[in-house]
Structure 1
Amino acid sequence: MRELITKLEETGNLNQTEWIALINGRTPKLAEFLFERARAVRHQYYGHDVYIRGLIEFTNYCRNDCYYCGIRCSNASVARYRLTEDEILDCCQTGYRLGFRTFVLQGGEDAWFTDKRMAVLIRAIKTRFPDCALTLSIGEKFRESYKLFHDTGADRYLLRHETYNANHYRMLHPASLSAIRRQKCLFALQETGYQVGSGFMVGSPGQTAEYLAEDMLFLKQLNPHMVGIGPFIPHHATPFAMEKAGTLELTLFMLGLLRLMLPKTLLPSTTALATIHPEGRKMGILAGANVVMPNLSPQENRKNYSLYDNKRCMGDEAAEGLAILTQEMEEIGYHIVTTRGDSLVTIQDHNQELNLKDFTGGNENV
């Protein structure tokens, strides 16, 4: 299997059969070799820098009813909240003092935050903090909405595709949502001019190596500026409450593969990794990741943005724990930097890729 890792590093490409063989054939020794190569590639492009993003979970209302998500609309046990504009700006001010130069507004698909309200909020943040990047993570919208937000000042947009395979997508979501709709949103975001982030869950119910291979083929074509992956972790108030969580081992392996396939992309070491293992954050960085997202949300709200059980939101996961996080990164030879931390993926890189709309991997044409 080492020859497949070497091929991936040299060419950035594997076919579906090779992806499946590599994922199914992984061993601890192979993973060690992979992480060594992933770190070398990461150092080539990004050195030992770790970029920080200030995560602001500004609403836990959501119109969707995704089967894995703790803030799904049918979960009546959630204490719902929405942050006001002043509360959000206070979060940004706190983060700015700490050195954050990217803020991530993340929330459920909350109809109260209309396009007009979002535009006012985006403009307020960019006016107050003009040297900072603003990332949105608020789900599926119309192309016109994406354009309005971008024109108002939003720089980046995170929208994980969750799983490329249409049948698998239907296992995880109600009929009102579709894989193709999700993918079309990603195309619209790219065409609008955002720095785009996508990603998938690892170990979600029903997932196979074949599905993961399709995810990798899709991401190769998309060539996003960022890829966020994390292990599936069940939530007690969802239909998947009794399902097994995704593993640290497979998540780290996929991180390493992503670094070799997309050397210029930004890869976060996610909160979900830190949730399933005390050293998960560090292990993600050592597998090739180069971004962390401490939580800037008000402490009283964090427990209510519970996408999955036992989510870590304090300590080194919190913005106020930045000194702890800095020390942890230094212990493994990395350092936190207080810059915007833009991706090295460029328009030229995208132009070198195949047209996404011609990609036909999986069960449905894109």
Structure 2
Amino acid sequence: MRIASRTRRGYRSAMTRISFSLSATDGRARTGTIATPRGEIRTPAFMPVGTAATVKAMLPESVRETGADILLGNTYHLMLRPTAERIERRGGLHRFMNWERPILTDSGGFQVMSLSGLRKMSEQGVTFKSHVDGSLHELTPERSMEIQRMLGSDIVMCFDECTPFPAEEGVSLESMRMSMRWAQRSKEAFGDRPGHALFGIQQGSVFRGQREESAEALRKIGFDGYAVGGLAVGEGQEAMFDVLDYAPDMLPEDKPRYLMGVGKPDDIVGAVKRGIDMMDCVLPSRSGRTGQAFTRNGVVNIKNARHQDDPRPLDENCDCPACRNYSRAYLHHVFRAQEMISGMLLTWHNLRYYQDLMEGLRGAIAVGQFDAFEADFHTARAEGDIPRL
């Protein structure tokens, strides 16, 4: 399939629909490509989070250099500041933030549901007070679709309620069924938008029957991709994997499957093993700003005193600028001195590590070596970061 060609002002569409193709499977693990007018997304894919039209501590060009094919933007934060209307007047989110590749935006539902005392929910939608200035707003399926259209998102998420954990079975069932009604309204409000995709979101907490009912409702409505929602909300990895043992297989095999808000490197490997194609999480950038680095041998706290005279790179197998150009001793120094470059370098490294992990997963699946890759991954982490003698 011919992909859009780049012009001086961006991308010229050479296709009208976003499509997904699988190139290989290994057990339940899958690798393939999501083709969009703005470029291909290689799956399994990790999406860095650009909450407020920026991946914190990174230039868009730098994010692309890490290997990212797609970013995630946050509907809730952008609708409040600078507003979707302002972004639309400036040519859309891609031009506004200087990112010409695909962008997925969440629906705003998760952030609104987390406001607790600042919101009021009904069948119509959610009325809430802004955490920025206290102003009153209403977010409905129709309004969420309108905002994401103004942002120019390539992949749009349905408006849903992210069921909290733990939740009683009856509470979860009521929440899931309302999300399915909102999914229908989201689909109707989204309309026919060639070159853009709408993803439905499966809910049902940890209840298998509810997950099946939700998946069936979403399949009847029909979406371009499907997300497994309501996980990574405090249930723990074991419970999450228990749900992923069956939930992805309830969704169409020929569409992308997206696990929202995940996660740690071992979460990602376990999710891919269970048939997930896309993931996102703030962890690599947030950890980078606090001195935590993800490496093949586990997490390194660069602020630890044992690094203060260490001439080695952070990760000898990494080609990011932090590892290529700076020692652990220097990284330790700039973090202890609270210099801005500290968070910049470790964020770059963490994002590169995540993209290296995805590249390794794709390569292993392509040649039928996922099990060996998984075993090596866990062995290296078990060995840990060996201190310098």
Give the TM-score normalised by the residue count of structure 2.
0.48
Identify if the C-alpha distance between structure 1 residues 319 and 218 changes in structure 2 by more than 3 Å, giving closer, same or farther: farther
Structure 2 counterparts to residues 140-289 of structure 1, below 5 A = 140-141=139-140, 143=142, 146-147=145-146, 149-150=148-149, 153-159=152-158, 161=160, 168=171, 180-193=181-194, 194-201=196-203, 204=205, 208-229=207-228, 232-233=231-232, 247-258=239-250, 261-272=251-262, 274=263, 279-289=266-276
Matched residues, number: 247
Task: Choose which of 93, 100, 103 in structure 1 pairs with 2:68.
Answer: 100
Residue 184 of structure 1 and its aligned partner are, at CA, apart by 0.8
Residue 216 of structure 1 deviates from its aligned partner by 1.4
Is the CA contact (8 Å cut-off) linking 1:135 and 1:155 kept in structure 2? yes
Q: Name the structure, 1 or 2, with higher relative contact order (CA <8 Å, separation 6+).
A: 1
Deviations 1:146-205, CA, capped at 9 Å, x for gaps:
3575366322212364589x96457559xxx86534541243225445311222346x3x
In structure 1, the gaps of 5 or more residues are: 1-34, 59-84, 236-242, 304-312, 337-366
Superposed counterparts of 1:1-366, under 5 Å: 38-39=28-29, 42=30, 49-58=43-52, 91-108=59-76, 112-113=80-81, 114-120=83-89, 123=92, 125-126=94-95, 129=98, 131-139=100-108, 140-141=139-140, 143=142, 146-147=145-146, 149-150=148-149, 153-159=152-158, 161=160, 168=171, 180-193=181-194, 194-201=196-203, 204=205, 208-229=207-228, 232-233=231-232, 247-258=239-250, 261-272=251-262, 274=263, 279-293=266-280, 295=282, 299=286, 315=294, 320-329=349-358, 332=361, 334=363
| Structure 1 CA distance for aligned equivalents of residues 144 and 364 of structure 2 | 37
RMSD, aligned CA? 4.7
Q: Counterpart in 2 of 1:27?
A: none
CA distance in 2, matches of 1:43, 1:126: 30
Distance 1:86 1:262, change over 3 A: closer
CA spacing shift, 1:53–1:120, aligned 2, 3 Å: farther
Higher strand share: 2
Do the aligned residues in 2 keep the contact of 1:198 with 1:224 (CA within 8 Å)?
Answer: yes
Aligned partner letter, 1:196: L
TM-superposition CA deviations, 1:49-89 (whole Å, max 9, x none): 4334221123xxxxxxxxxxxxxxxxxxxxxxxxxx67879
The superposition leaves residues 26-59 of structure 1 with CA deviations (integer Å, 9 ceiling, x where unpaired) of xxxxxxxxx96534xx45888984334221123x
Q: Are the counterparts in 1 of residues 202 and 218 from structure 2 also a CA contact under 8 Å?
A: no
The residue type equivalent to 1:54 in the other structure is P
Supply the distance in 1 between the matched residues of 2:229 and 2:143 (Cα, whole angstroms): 30
Q: Counterpart of 1:263 in 2: which secondary structure?
A: coil
From the superposition, tell whether residues 37 and 209 of structure 1 become closer, same or farther in structure 2 (CA, over 3 Å): same
**Residues 86-121 of structure 1: per-residue CA shift (max 9 Å, x gap):** 787955343133233322102536762433134246
Is contact 1:255-1:284 (8 Å) kept? no
2:44 is paired with a residue of what secondary structure?
strand
Deviation by residue 1:272-297 (Cα, 9 ceiling, x = unmatched): 4x45xx62211211222222335499
Q: Which of structures 1 and 2 has the bigger CA Rg?
A: 2
Does the 8 A contact of 2:49 with 2:280 survive in 1? yes
- Cα distance in 2 for partners of 1:131, 1:111 equals 21
Rate the CA distance shift 1:293–1:334 in 2: closer, same or farther, 3 A. Answer: farther
| CA–CA distance in structure 1, aligned partners of residues 200 and 289 of structure 2 | 23
1-structure distance, mates of 2:142, 2:220: 21
